[in-house]
Each structure stands twice: as C-alpha cells, then as structure tokens.
Structure 1
Amino acid sequence: MALHTNENHNPTVHKFESMLKTDDVYFFDAEDFEEIIHHYLNLGKVSLGKKAIQLGLEQHPNCIEIKLLQVEVLVFEDQFTKAESLLDQLQSIDAHNEEIFIQRANILSKKDNHAGAIDMLKQALTIVQDEDSFDVYSLMGMEHLFMDNYVEAKKCFIQCLTYDDSDYSSLYNVIYCFEFLEDFEGAISFLNKFLEKNPYCEVAWHQLGKMYIEKNMWESALGAFDFAIISDDTFLGAYFEKGKVLEKLGKLNEAIACYETTIEIEDPTSHAYLRIAKCHEKLGNDDLAKYYYYNTVHEDPLLDKGWLAITEFYLRKKDYEKALHYINKAINIDGDNALYWKRNAETFFALNNIDEADFAFKQAVELGNYELDTWTNWAKVLKQLNDSEAAIQVLLQGLEFYPNNAEILYQLTGLYLRCNNFDEAKEHFGVALQISPKKSSIFLELYPEYGQLKWVQDSLKRNQRAST
C-alpha cells in the first residue's frame, strides 16, 4: 500500500508510516495509537486505520479506547454481529462508558431502528459529563430527523447550541426544523434571542433575513442582511439575498449593485450574471440584459436556467427563431424538464409548426406539466390539426386538474360542435355560462362560426337578463 507521508506533518503518524515501510517495530503508547487511528479514519483511509488498530491491540490488548475504535470500523463495514459482541465484552468491563451506548445507537440507526438508537443515546446522556453532551445531542437530533420528528430534533439542536453557540451546523439544523414546521415566527423569535447573545453571527443574521422573506417582511429582511454584511463584508449569500429583496421592492439598480459586489468579492458566477440580466431587462436595458444573459451561459454552459432565461427573453420580444434555438439548448442539457418542453411547444406554436408543437406539449404533460394553459394551448394545437377528438380528450384530462374551469368548458363546447355532439356542447356551454359569462368571449373568438347559432344566442341573452 502506498503511504504518503507528505499528506501530514504529524510526527506520530510519520513515525508510524516509517515503521510500516521498514517492517521495524516501534512502540507507541495507547494515546498515540488513538491519534493515529483517528487520523486515518478521518481521512477515510480505513485499511490503514485497521492496521493501526491491529498493531495497537498487539501492544495494548486491554485498551478499551482502541477496541471502541475497532467497533467503529466494524459498524462502518456493517459487521454488526461482531461489533455487538465486542461491545458486550466492553460493557462487562466498563458499564459506564458512554461511547459503548453511542456505538450501540449507531448500529441501531444503521438498522433503521431510530427509536432504539434514541433510547441508547439517552442512556449515554446519563453517563457523559455535561460539557461533553454536545455530540450526543447532535446524534440524537439526527435520529429524530430520520423519524421526521422535527419538534424533538429542533430541541436537540438547540441544546447543542447551549454548549457551542458557534456551531453553524446545529444552527442550520434548528432553522431547517423551523422551516419544515412552517413556524417562521418561531424561527424569527429564536434567531432574535440567539443574536442578543451573538450579535456578530453573520449566519444567524442571514437566516433571520430569509425568515423575514417568508413573512413578506421585506424591510426587516433588508436590515438583517445588512447586519450580516456588517458582521462579514465578504458574505456572498447576504449580498445575494439582499439583491433579491431589492428586486422584489423594485429597487433594481441597488439590486444590481449587490450582485456586482458578489462578482468583485469572488470569481463571477452564472447565477449573479443571471440576476443582473433580469434586472436590466426590467429596467428596459435590453442590450445590457442580453450581454449578461450571454455571460450567464458563457460562465456555465450547462446552466439550463440560463438558456431558459434567454429563451423567455426572445419570446417576450417575439423573436421566435432565436427563442427556439436557445430552448433546444436547454432541452439538450435537461431533456426531462417539463417546463422546457412547454416553452418548446409554445415557440413551435408561435412559428405555426403545429406538428412539432403537438409533440412538445405531449412531452411536457408526460413529464408532469399540468398547468392550465398547457391543456388549453395543446387543445388549440390539436384543433389546428383538425383532430377534434384528441383535443376533447386533452381538455377532459385538464378538467380533472381544473374542475369546472370556464375556459376549458368553452373550448369543449366548440370542439363538441365540431364533432356534431350537440347535447354535450349545450351542457358544457350552460355550465360555463353559470361559472363565468364574461369568458364566453373565448368561445366566440375560437369558434366564431358557431356564435350565431340560435341556441347559443338564446343562452347568452338569458344569462344576460338573469344577471341584470
């Protein structure tokens, strides 16, 4: 096995690796072996860790700490029976070693017995010194997360913060629990109390800003992001989130300044370019918008959202040929994205390429796009293909997602008339008039040839009289 002593500057590890290379036998005390084993396990070099455990037990056969590290490796390799047998031996020697219960919890967790793992961790808490409880509460919090018990998980991670308020992992987990519970007010209250004790914690300010966004408290969010930036003026996430809030408030030039700051602090990112482009487009700076849209995809050619943004830019400009070119690039990157197929369909429809539009709408629906205009526009495509029966089936599917939708019902009326199914046409027209008489214009625009039918005119007049 190749040994790379240059990967570390630890003299103990260096001495151990020298021993392995020369086949000489050096003596190490038990603490040195623990240090060596931890070193390799932390680097993911399990085979070297196992070698150190083997040699460690040869020199210190009764060392419980080394045997517990052996258990850790056995659990990692899913050798649960051997691990449990060794833990039984160790517990008979030292029944008050919390690590024994932690490893038992680890085994139960890997067996998906998370409730059992929590019970073991609770036993560990009765043994461990209070100042060393952090790791146990952290593990317990993760077990509760595995069980989707976010209330108890939150309590555990909050307890972790009482031992180490600089542990951002626990802080993020607390906020994750609040978010999942949709308790944004609780999160705001917690973060404000946390910040009273830790006023320069940029992560807490950042998370507080995001919670204010969830409550549409835009000015409060801006204040929180400003404090995050004061705490760390290189905090990219705070600048980015602040920019998004400024966009929401229509302060587009200020938003651009925030995004540009992120580019100044670190290398440009495609996401920053994309936000800047959208701001310039809203400001009517089309040339600058295009410049930044193209920078977006130049910076990251695989960012399909960039290609989609360019597509939608050209769709708004009614430059359908260019829109088609760029949406096809997005599809080439992510061919399973329903929205991209929908944009592809809309572009083909605008170009009057009806067959391709039909195929693209079908792909969009098969991939899970069930938006109202997907059904109604697909039906219009099929109408142009003179396939009224297929259009009816599409709209009937749409009704399953949008029951009694007037727009769908008016379109169905016209299609049933095309198929000479007058009973269905009258029934759907009557229901549509009851739901939304104003939208009868949809029927009259799409099917003007039926607008003068006597029963249609009579229905419209009766509805008009009833509403006055």
Structure 2
Amino acid sequence: MKAQGLVQEAYACYLEAIRIDPHFAIAWSNLAGLFMEVGDLNKAMQYYKEAVKLKPSFADAHLNQGNVYKAMGMLQEAVSCYQRALQARPDYAMAYGNLATIYYEQRQLDMAIHCYNQAILCDSRFVEAYNNMGNALKDAGRVEEAINCFQSCLVLQANHPQALTNLGNIYMEWNMISTAASFYKAAIAVTSGLSSPLNNLAVIYKQQGSYADAIACYTEVLRIDPTAADALVNRGNTFKEFGRVAEAIQDYIQAVTIRPNMAEAHANLASAYKDRY
C-alpha cells in the first residue's frame, strides 16, 4: 500500500495496528516514516521516539530518527542516534555512512574517512561510501587514495556520474586535460541532471577555442537550472570572446536579474556595453 503512494490508507492501517497493539514498535516507526516522507519532521520525530522507547535495540528507528535530526539541523543529536543504531547493530553500514557524512560536512575529515571505511568493511558493495570517501580523501590531500576510491565506485557502478566527475576534476587539476574531458563526457553520457561536468567541460572547450561546444555545455547547464547565474556569466563571456556581444549582454542582464549583487556580472555587462557602443 505504502509503495503505491496510498499514504492515507497506509496511515490508517498503521494506526489500526497500534490500536490493536500499542507496543508494536515497527508500526510506530513506519508511521514516523510516512510523516518523514511528507515533510512533517516534528510528527516523525515524535513517532520514532516512541518506536525506540518501545524497542531500544531497533537499529532502523535509531537511524531514521538521526535522519530527522539531521534534516532539522540538529547534528549532534543526529550523531548520537547513529551511534545508538551502531550499538544495536554493529555492522550497520548505512549508520556509518550517515555518521561519516556529518563528519565530512563539519570538515572532520579523519573521522569521516574512518566512518566511510567502516561502512565499506560492513558492506563492500556500498557504492556511495566509496565515492564519498574519495571526496574526503581528496580534501585531506590523499589524492592517490581518492582515485582508488572513485575507481572502486566505478567497478561497482560503471555509470556513476559523480565518481566520473570527481576523477575528471582530479585530472583537470593535474592539467591532464584530455583525460579530464573523457571523464566529464562519460559523466554527461550517463546523466542529464548534473551540471558540474558540463561546466568543467565548457572550460576545457573554451581553452581549446571550441566556443560553440562551450556554449552548448553552458546552455545545457541552464536547461538543468535556469537560475544558474554563474553559467549565464560564463556563457556571456564566451559569446563576447568571439564577437557575439548582443547575446553576451542578454546573458549578463539575466545574471544580474537573478543575482543582483553579483559584481562580476555587473562589471562584464558594463564592459560589453562599452565594447558595443
């Protein structure tokens, strides 16, 4: 029922289950999950608390309660919940992964790397843990290890767009432009919703003087996110470089409309007007 999106019916069934057996922790947890899905975090929290009170060893409920706290921005409470989930289930890969994500966001890179590593030890096919650990290792300056993580991710999922993009970024930083471009193209081939490989490929095309290809990349970024002011400025700059000043002006105007305090867009617009008139 829940899977078919029949939320009201599922809600009624869980309530009936709780009426029959008020100590049925799974029903409380599932009810909380419904509220989480519709964005009612306070109700979700209330019911997860009930679930773990009834069944303190309920690892999934601890994990999900942590997710609610994280969504509320209460990170220390989320960490405590993930740790309780691990006490209840020491091989809980997802709990390690979620813990690692918080540590990564807090720039505690060593802790993040440790937890991602634990997640992988618990589940050697945990694709996202490899990719995320790669990001943490790269930020910690351990680039060769990061490459190994991204490659491990791609062994498990050859069309993982973030891992392909992340490898492209490393080769871009190493000035291995054609290798970087091949990874960005591979990422673009497997997803239509990720703008970073398009932006980066556009930079490469522009450096190579392939202005039409660069513009095509920025245009695709703007299809994904029409409010991407940076892409508008970059496309405007590209138009301007090969003489299409009127189109550059249009992009700069749109960029300052979206982001009125974007100094670069104002400066480039002034420069384009000067060039034109």
Matched-pair contact (CA < 8 Å) for 1:411–1:443? no
Deviations 1:10-68 (A, max 9, x none): xxxxxxxxxxxxxxxxxxxxxxxxxxxxxxxxxxxxxxxxxxxxxxxxxxxxxxxxxxx
Are positions 1:395 and 2:218 aligned together? yes
The alpha carbon displacement at 1:386 in A equals 3.4
Structure 1 residues 286 and 374 mapped into 2: Cα distance closer, same or farther (>3 Å)? Answer: closer
> Could you tell me which of 241, 244, 253 is aligned with 1:434?
253
* Corresponding residue for residue 177 of structure 2: 354
Aligned residue type for 1:348: Y
In 2, distance between residues paired with 1:263 and 1:405? 40
* Corresponding residue for residue 272 of structure 1: 95
Are positions 1:415 and 2:238 aligned together? yes
In 1, distance between residues paired with 2:141 and 2:205? 23
Structure 1 residues 260 and 452 mapped into 2: Cα distance closer, same or farther (>3 Å)? Answer: closer
For residues 174-213 of structure 1, the aligned pairs below 5 Å read 174-177=1-4, 180-181=5-6, 183=7, 187-188=10-11, 191-213=14-36
Deviations 1:166-224 (A, max 9, x none): xxxxxxxx3223xx25x4x6654553354233312222111111112123332321221
For residues 295-374 of structure 1, the aligned pairs below 5 Å read 295-317=118-140, 320-374=143-197
In 2, distance between residues paired with 1:211 and 1:414? 47
In 2, distance between residues paired with 1:373 and 1:456? 31
Matched-pair contact (CA < 8 Å) for 1:311–1:324? yes
In 2, distance between residues paired with 1:277 and 1:244? 13
In 2, distance between residues paired with 1:380 and 1:454? 24
For residues 424-463 of structure 1, the aligned pairs below 5 Å read 425-437=244-256, 438=260, 439=262, 441=264, 452=271, 455-456=274-275
In 2, distance between residues paired with 1:374 and 1:273? 29
* Corresponding residue for residue 240 of structure 1: 63
Structure 1 residues 251 and 397 mapped into 2: Cα distance closer, same or farther (>3 Å)? Answer: closer
Matched-pair contact (CA < 8 Å) for 2:113–2:137? no
Are positions 1:377 and 2:200 aligned together? yes
- Extract unaligned runs of 5+ from structure 1: 1-173, 459-468
In 1, distance between residues paired with 2:121 and 2:208? 39
- Extract unaligned runs of 5+ from structure 2: none
Question: Secondary structure of 2:2's match?
Answer: helix
* Corresponding residue for residue 165 of structure 1: none
Structure 1 residues 390 and 276 mapped into 2: Cα distance closer, same or farther (>3 Å)? Answer: same
For residues 141-152 of structure 1, the aligned pairs below 5 Å read none
Aligned residue type for 1:197: I
Deviations 1:111-133 (A, max 9, x none): xxxxxxxxxxxxxxxxxxxxxxx
In 2, distance between residues paired with 1:176 and 1:229? 24
Aligned residue type for 2:255: S
Matched-pair contact (CA < 8 Å) for 1:409–1:431? no
Aligned residues: 273
Structure 1 residues 301 and 194 mapped into 2: Cα distance closer, same or farther (>3 Å)? Answer: closer
The alpha carbon displacement at 1:313 in A equals 1.5
* Corresponding residue for residue 111 of structure 2: 288
Question: Secondary structure of 1:381's match?
Answer: helix
Matched-pair contact (CA < 8 Å) for 2:181–2:201? yes
Matched-pair contact (CA < 8 Å) for 1:320–1:351? no
Matched-pair contact (CA < 8 Å) for 2:165–2:196? no
Give the TM-score normalised by structure 2: 0.81
The alpha carbon displacement at 1:361 in A equals 0.9
Structure 1 residues 443 and 321 mapped into 2: Cα distance closer, same or farther (>3 Å)? Answer: farther
The alpha carbon displacement at 1:380 in A equals 0.9
Structure 1 residues 290 and 401 mapped into 2: Cα distance closer, same or farther (>3 Å)? Answer: closer
Give the TM-score normalised by structure 1: 0.51
Question: Secondary structure of 1:175's match?
Answer: coil
Matched-pair contact (CA < 8 Å) for 1:354–1:384? no
Structure 1 residues 269 and 402 mapped into 2: Cα distance closer, same or farther (>3 Å)? Answer: closer
Percent pairwise identity: 16
In 2, distance between residues paired with 1:456 and 1:191? 68
Matched-pair contact (CA < 8 Å) for 1:330–1:340? yes
In 1, distance between residues paired with 2:161 and 2:206? 22
Matched-pair contact (CA < 8 Å) for 1:324–1:348? no
